[in-house]
Chains A and B, each alone.
Chain A
Amino acid sequence: MISVFENIGIFFLAFFEATGTWFTMLWRTATWAIRPPFEGREWMRQMVRLGVDSIPVVFLTTMFTGMVMALQTFNGFQRVHAENFVGSVVALSILRELSPVLVGLMVTGRVGSSMAAEIGTMRVTEQIDALKALATDPVQYLFVPRVIAGIVMLPLLTILGDALGVWGGYLVAVRLMGANPVVYQSNTFQFLDVNDLWSGIVKSAVFGLILTLTGCVRGYYTTGGAEGVGKATTSAVVTASVIILLADFFLTKLLF
């Protein structure tokens, strides 16, 4: 019985410690982000790595999601003779929800994990200590460029995902299900509002912050050699994904 309470205690202590660390690092990253020297080259490198290199993944994910959305809703809506609304439903769900969340999760898997592995390896091979010994703050040199890249690039990827998802839906509805292209197009944009686009973009910027910072923090506190790096990588992906899903709900509920 006692061990049950003990374990609950240990769990909550670890939880609060991790949360505290996360926000401390967020604060340190924010204060270093506005202070020179700025690592222009490093910022560019991370933006290419997180943004440009993620385009194929985003392409596949969002386009196929748009296609499946159209297929599924067409099937369902046909039963109540509401095929005309397929375009609106696909566009709304892609812009407001699916594109930001799916892009966030895919980039977490692709980039958040590699950030944790890279920084974790630097930790266990003393490269982090070497950075400090060379009078360079690791938060400034490693965290800031990555987090900035996340905040800037995720919205751009999401916009790309929006376009691809809507286009994928259009292709399936018109080519496969025989919807009228003109009607489908006008339906797609009929109920769409600029706010729908904005809500997705704001969310994705927050997701970009979450996935990069979590990757960096998990990597930074790696202990115990190669095994530790593996654990850090896994926990970066799991933690960031969970936070993204929770944050998604609350952002949707509170802000929009």
Chain B
Amino acid sequence: MTEPSAVAISMQHVYKSFGPKEVLHDLSIDIERNESVVIVGGSGTGKSVTLKHIIGLLKPDRGEVYVDGKEISDMPPRELNRFRTRFGMSFQEGALFDSMSVFENIAFPLRRHTEMTEDEIRSRVAECLEQVHLSGIEEKRPSELSGGMRRRVGFARAISLKPEILLFDEPTTGLDPVFSDVVADLIVEMDQTLKTTTVTITHDMKVAFKIADRVAMLYGGAIVEQGSPADFQQSKNPIVQQFIEGRAKGPLTD
């Protein structure tokens, strides 16, 4: 780490295998405070695995993951549990608790990790729903919502504790192009109004260029290219070019 104060998340030489399959191979990336980084890559290249390392849901076989200078890849479970209140994470399909209403889902972390009164919780939940433009659906069940709405309720739940770091796992997968754009706008808006460090993984380049301060390409278990959206688009790297253009032929598929 060069400047510990500026770097929020640092992954150093991370290796991770599942059985015989090596998913991450010497992956290193530094993410600065308040930066919005998008990690792109093909399906099954370990994007989700990378994201889960940042919040400690997975532990590296080798290498270290630092968040705010603390090594979370080597943290005892209870300390890690407490540390996670600094994160907000949104999952692919929302991962809402289907035994609870929308209100209870968003109130869940507030009830557990704050001393807020019931009135304060109620207004905080309304505030979070307003942030994702879904006011007034508190009493609905997750099963009554559309895929896009579930995703956005997931965002609301992720931001309820005012986290410093937001993680988005494939926020637009399975949504139509228009709605993908709406969600991308929303992520930009949340990133700016909440002043968070944001890490998003996606394979949708349009979304990536929209929300990223910096785009990084994951290939072969490591970051092969990174830069500002403009630089990234100009990259001479044939892997990157093939991925951006979505061609079937090229180094990615050889």
Contact = CB atoms under 8 A, between A and B. Distances in A.
Given A136-B112, A137-B77, A130 B82 contact: no
Interface residues of A, number: 14
B93 A126 contact: yes
B109 interface: yes
Contact of B85 (A125, A129, A130, A135): A135
Nearest to A126: B95
A134 B93 contact: no
A135 B112 CA distance: 9
B113 interface: yes
B84 A126 contact: no
Contacts of A125: 93, 95, 98
Given A126-B93, A137-B81, A132 B57 contact: yes
A129 B57 contact: yes
Contacts of B108: 134, 136
Interface string A145-188: 00000000000000000000000000000000000000000000
Nearest to A136: B112
Interface string A103-139: 0000000000000001000100111011011111100
A127 B91 CA distance: 9
B85 A126 contact: no
Contact of B95 (A127, A135, A136, A137): A127
Interface in B44-87: 52, 55, 57, 77, 81-85, 87
B148 to A, nearest CB: 17
A37 interface: yes
B91 A126 contact: yes
A129 B84 contact: no
Contacts of A122: 97
Contact of A135 (B84, B97, B98, B157): B84
B52 A129 contact: yes
B81 A135 contact: yes
Contacts of A127: 95-98
B84 A132 contact: yes
Nearest to A118: B99
Interface in A178-232: none
Contacts of B84: 132-135
Contacts of A134: 84, 108-109, 112, 157
B109 A135 contact: yes
B112 A130 contact: no
Given A125-B98, A126-B95, A134-B84, 15 more contacts: A126-B92, A126-B93, A127-B95, A129-B91, A129-B95, A130-B89, A132-B55, A132-B57, A133-B89, A133-B158, A135-B81, A135-B84, A135-B112, A135-B113, A136-B81
Interface of A: 37, 118, 122, 125-127, 129-130, 132-137
Q: Which 4 interchain pairs have the tightest Cβ spacing?
A: A130-B95, A126-B95, A133-B89, A135-B84
